[in-house]
Amino acid sequence: MIDIRLIRKDPDLVRENIKKKFQFEKLPLVDEVIELDAKYREAKLRSDNLRSERNTISKQIGTLMREGKREEAEKIKSQIGKMAKQLEESERLEKEYFEKVQEIMLQIPNIIDDTVPIGKDDSENVEVERFGEPVVPDFEIPYHVDIMERLDGIDLDSSRKTSGSGFYYLKGDIARLHSAVLAYARDFMIDKGFTYYIPPFMIRGNVVSGVMSFAEMENMMYKIEGEDLYLIGTSEHSMIGKFIDTILDEESLPQTLTSYSPCFRKEVGAHGIEERGVYRIHQFEKQEMVVVCKPEDSKAWFDKLWQYAVEFFRTLDIPVRVLECCSGDLADLKVKSVDVEAWSPRQQKYFEVGSCSNLSDAQARRLGIRVRGKDGNYFAHTLNNTVVAPPRMLIAFLENNLNEDGTIRIPEPLRMYMGGKEVIG
């Protein structure tokens, strides 16, 4: 959510931003919100004036009664009664206009950063940098499910019976590897100075609408029937929601948090051979990093966060690249975002394994996350980034650490979490 004062002051800037995001259907919302905002302020002024006038007149009643001027006092009481009805109607309109303004403001996208490349969709994202040499071995790299099945590490048939498509059973050393990656990611971020959290895995509707757009909510979130609770799609939702309606001391910033959670998402995603695997699924686990900071620090933290993800993958000998998300690929709350993609020797291309986002004060405005500064309160900035999501990361890990004999090499950082094992097979 952007500041309504920006629309009042520079509506053309807001319109141009909508055009950069290729959301032309939202252009009429700017004029609509300007008109409703004017009506809201007019109704609010009327309500304020009526309350002030009522209070002034009410003070006269006691004086008149003490002076024995009961008849005049009764006339004022009658006048106050009429004013009460006017105030009631004015307050009703004030509330109605305010709610309509808020509803529209939630649909208007955040102002993107000047450095964001302009493009319609993810096909126009821009490569920033590559880290590590992408290698294609002399031997054939099987599909990731085939690698897991040869190691007796996955059972998709049973999960289809219990839960349907988009789920899996991991077992044996592959399940242990999954847990090892998460444990290593946890300790990796703790070593960076982040505080470890395990958050609630369900959140209320007002938190959901505070951390994401309506379109994202509809496409991602599972709702608990009969309750105001949603299963989280990522622990960022709970972690940002943790600060709802709080005023943080400036000295307490930045808040640097790393959180583990299962994640639940409605969409399986693209059709085709990947549906048989674990690239797009309904349930997975993830280690996340979240930062709440002062506005002037958010750009620096954005660069730190995606660099942490790159460093993590490189310690496991996985080549990665970073892509700058173009304007049309940014969710409405984001001002800037990059995707971290891992190298797939089998497909001989990179694929997404994480995303780093700067949301400026959009989530803070929606959730009421303020900072107590020397010159008054202001909204915090929030950022998030994936450390690792093992289902996708496992694909990259297995392909990049596969030996010709079918065994899997375990890089040194993971061995302590794998009971000292150097190889799976």
For residue range 194-203, list pLDDT tens digits in order. Answer: 999 999 999 9
What is the tens place of the pLDDT at every residue in 17-32? 999 999 999 999 999 9
208-242 CB burial, b ≥16 within 10 A, e <16: bebbbbeeebeebbbeeeeeebbbbbbbbbbbbbb
d(CA 17, CA 7): 12
Active-site residues: which are they?
A: 265, 280, 352, 355, 392
Query: Same structural domain for residues 50 and 133?
Result: no
Kindly tell me if the per-residue pLDDT of 270 is higher than 70: no
What is the tens place of the pLDDT at every residue in 312-331? 999 999 999 999 999 999 99
Residues whose CB is less than 8 angstroms from the CB of residue 203 and which lie 6 or more positions away in sequence, other chains included: 229, 230, 232, 237, 238, 241
Element (H, E) at 369: strand 369-373
Residue 387 within any structural domain of the chain: yes
Which CATH number goes with the domain that contains 66?
1.10.287.40
DSSP state of 131: E
What is the tens place of the pLDDT at every residue in 278-301? 888 889 999 999 999 999 999 999
pLDDT for the residue 340: 97
What is the tens place of the pLDDT at every residue in 59-118? 676 666 667 777 777 677 777 778 788 889 999 999 999 999 999 999 999 999 999 999
Kindly tell me if the per-residue pLDDT of 271 is higher than 70: no
Q: Which domain holds residue 336?
A: 122-424
User: What pTM value is reported for the model?
Assistant: 0.89
Query: Same structural domain for residues 78 and 139?
Result: no
Residue among 257, 281, 277 nearest 269 (CA): 281
Report the domain count for the chain.
2
Query: Same structural domain for residues 282 and 320?
Result: yes
Query: Same structural domain for residues 78 and 131?
Result: no
Residue 114 within any structural domain of the chain: no
pLDDT for the residue 218: 77
d(CA 54, CA 79): 9
d(CA 297, CA 382): 10
What is the tens place of the pLDDT at every residue in 157-180? 999 899 888 889 999 999 999 999
DSSP state of 296: G
Residue 301 within any structural domain of the chain: yes
Sign of the CA dihedral 54, 57, 59, 65? negative
What is the tens place of the pLDDT at every residue in 348-373? 999 999 999 999 999 999 999 999 99
Residue among 254, 199, 257, 193 nearest 232 (CA): 199
**Hey, is 246 helix, strand or coil?**
strand
What order do you get walking across the sheet with 222-223 strand by strand?
Answer: 202-203, 230-231, 222-223
Q: Which amino acid makes up residue 49?
A: N
d(CA 316, CA 321): 14
Query: Same structural domain for residues 69 and 199?
Result: no
Crossing angle for the helix pair 11-20 and 27-66, nearest 10 degrees?
140
Kindly tell me if the per-residue pLDDT of 268 is higher than 60: no
Kindly tell me if the per-residue pLDDT of 412 is higher than 70: yes
Which CATH number goes with the domain that contains 140?
3.30.930.10
pLDDT for the residue 59: 67
What is the tens place of the pLDDT at every residue in 34-56? 999 999 999 999 999 988 887 77
- Token readout for 398 is 């297995």
pLDDT for the residue 63: 66
d(CA 285, CA 291): 20
